[in-house]
Amino acid sequence: MFNVKLLCVAGLALSSFILAPASADFINPIVPPWRGSPDSDFYGWESFTSPFSGPNLTNYAGTEANAALFNFGPGAFITSTGNLYGASNPLSISIYAGLTAQVNEVILNVSTIGTIINTNSVRLDISDNNGNTISINPGFMELRSDTAAPGGQGQIQTRAFRWMLQGLPFPATRFELGFNSQTNNISLDAVSVDIRYVPMPGVFAILAVSGIVGIRPRRRAR
């Protein structure tokens, strides 16, 4: 026989956990100075629409399109505030997007409430159109903010991860960023991805290298 009183208390605690941290968002994320520059892409999510195996499209202020975030951890749902909540199982997040040039730097910010993400699961996979893939662990990770969630329901955290790439063995065309939570009872609040490309040489730089710039027409002798 169910303990109705215990069940009501548990339901109240769960609803408080889901609703209370709606305004957490990012706290002290890494915002690179090159965000918004011509040689960069910025993708962000501050609310979610698909709890399992469906695409969540970018919707953060100032974000670009053409990237999608998926959760492949079953038992999740979308809260009334738009968070992605792993109720009965850990979250398993994958972010997909294309690449337009050689990648130089990648920054990932993740805001969560409740249990924390598994930092050992964070990965960056870069691929080309010929089946080549390289998987890279972050070279830098930092806990940017950490406070107790209301009602003793874990932590409110913002974590940042950075990859610095010094050339790839193939011309990359797409990437996948992935991470998992340690357990269930986690609410994914916001995610951002910044990508900086190796700057393409300008027209005058190309002409100078080719020896065209600097050649002046000769004056006719009078």
Domain of 187, CATH number, reads 2.60.120
Phi, psi of 44 (to 5 degrees): -150, 150
Residue 48 lies in a domain: yes
Residue 13 lies in a domain: no
The CA distance from 207 to 131, in Å, is 35
pLDDT score for 148: 96
Residue 33 lies in a domain: yes
Average pLDDT, the chain: 84
Residue 210 lies in a domain: no
pLDDT score for 157: 97
* Ranges of the chain whose pLDDT falls below 50: 1-23, 202-222
pLDDT score for 80: 95
Residue 38 lies in a domain: yes
pLDDT score for 24: 57
Q: Which domain holds residue 67?
A: 21-200
pLDDT score for 15: 40
pLDDT score for 167: 85
Residue 217 lies in a domain: no
